[in-house]
Structure 1
């Protein structure tokens, strides 16, 4: 087992395929495949599952990846300290539901990384795809919420995929609306107050289940309903159509300006936001740095951390 083989495994996971990893490593695909097979033969375990859908880590592969990342990171630190070598390229991938505070933390993490070279990825995506990204190690971390309605389904899916949910904070439900919306001056609103306003939600594609909705109270009927795929479009429609969406109440003026405001929604429900990761995997330095920034941003917005 060599350091180069460890780097090969890490790059395959980061790239999502052997072909793409070979391009990034400037070697041929057969050479990379051969190196991985030699490593698997030496270890006596299968690290990757290969199928028509692509490549993914086995349970043993996930555990191996955690150790490999630690070794490569520590080697890089030794080289920087004693050989005056250039710091290695920083890597980090995060998948998240559409939360402004997740973006804030990502910005802070990059600014503080101090890396001359880096390749960071932030995916604002659908709930099921967040879980799938973390399961396949396309992302180290996922950010999503649970509540009494979806908890059993989400917990079962996480358990089946060897993922753990770590709570960050619990919020009372709010609506996001335009500062010009007729309800903007209200201290709180009810579902009855919202009946005539367009309801905006994030579409979930193939896995369009109530349990995967990014918004609580997903089974409530709405006279006017619009599904969108990205946060910028949703905010534009909040302003242009006097629509509303349901979320945590944590909104970033830095990123979204003063045009979007939260108003408390009176509903018998709560939103528990947390992060997910494989329970066998030790987080990389950059993923840990991202979590630190995420906790900082959350407390800045007045939320009490649960960890």
Structure 2
């Protein structure tokens, strides 16, 4: 049983890290204390002791609550990583039937990523589990893995974004592992005017709306999920979710550019993929922390990803 650190102590415990992460998630010491079933003064003292030992101020404290500081974000990143490694170690060696399955992944909008996630849940189905899948922006995927919010991320690298994204990945102490190399395709409505063509050129597409996933403050081409520049097209529509994108593909005869990997169960029978004539390749892979011991759920997820990509 882990003991909470006493005032003046100088040995960090995993319990302190749990306190730190819970407080950050709640944004309020009183709420966090209630969630942890301890008194608010005890929680505050434990976190202050941790701050003193690490030499950082993790939170800015006001009457309205707490906010995480910049150095606090870095401390939280390490705390989440240590807690996750602790859970992975217990899961590996104890193999307890009472262990609640937990796994989180952040990814770009790929149907094969969803299918692999379904496989993990089916494999580790239990009375209780906590699985998280975030289909989100490219920059947030890297942030999620770096900050320990997700165990792994799924992105792609290409000739145009590799230098920028690889540097960002390295600077966050992450690594990229390639799983699949795809040629560019477009997704269009099955009754689109171009649907009968065997291959599509960029010139063929200029009169139609180009649908892309919005990337927030990092809305540069380097973070785009589509590896054909929007600068080549006069009509651009940015969206945040898969359903909206495919509804616009159908309703406006729009198109998007991706890997060509499509699942009609998720995307519907009305969307088709057509090869795009372009001298580029899409290197799909996972992002994870360097020297990270992955959970058995992450291993299963990667295995499932490879299976779904191998049948393309």
Q: Which residue of 1 aligns with 2:73?
A: 56
Q: Aligned ranges for residues 1-307 of structure 1 at < 5 Å?
A: 2=2, 6=14, 9=17, 17=25, 19=27, 24-28=35-39, 30-32=41-43, 34-35=45-46, 49-50=58-59, 52-53=67-68, 55-58=72-75, 61=79, 64-65=82-83, 67-74=85-92, 76-77=94-95, 79-80=96-97, 87-300=98-311, 302=312
Point out the more displaced range, 12-21 or 210-219: 12-21
Larger Rg: 2
Are the equivalent residues in 2 in contact too, given 1:10–1:69 (CA < 8 A)? no
Residues of 1 paired with 2:19 and 2:185: CA distance? 41
The structural deviation recorded for 1:49 is 5.0
The structural deviation recorded for 1:34 is 4.5
Are the equivalent residues in 1 in contact too, given 2:184–2:259 (CA < 8 A)? yes
Q: Structure 1 unaligned runs (5+)?
A: 81-86, 303-307
Structure 1, residues 117-143: CA drift from partner, whole Å, max 9, x if none?
111111111111111111111111111
Which structure has more relative contact order (CA 8 Å, sep 6+)? It is 1
Q: TM-score, normalised by structure 2?
A: 0.82
The structural deviation recorded for 1:25 is 3.9
Structure 1, residues 190-231: CA drift from partner, whole Å, max 9, x if none?
000001111100011111111111111225321211000111
Residues of 2 paired with 1:201 and 1:3: CA distance? 51
Point out the more displaced range, 20-29 or 141-150: 20-29
Q: TM-score, normalised by structure 1?
A: 0.84
In structure 2, the CA distance between the partners of 1:154 and 1:14, relative to structure 1 (3 Å rule), is: farther
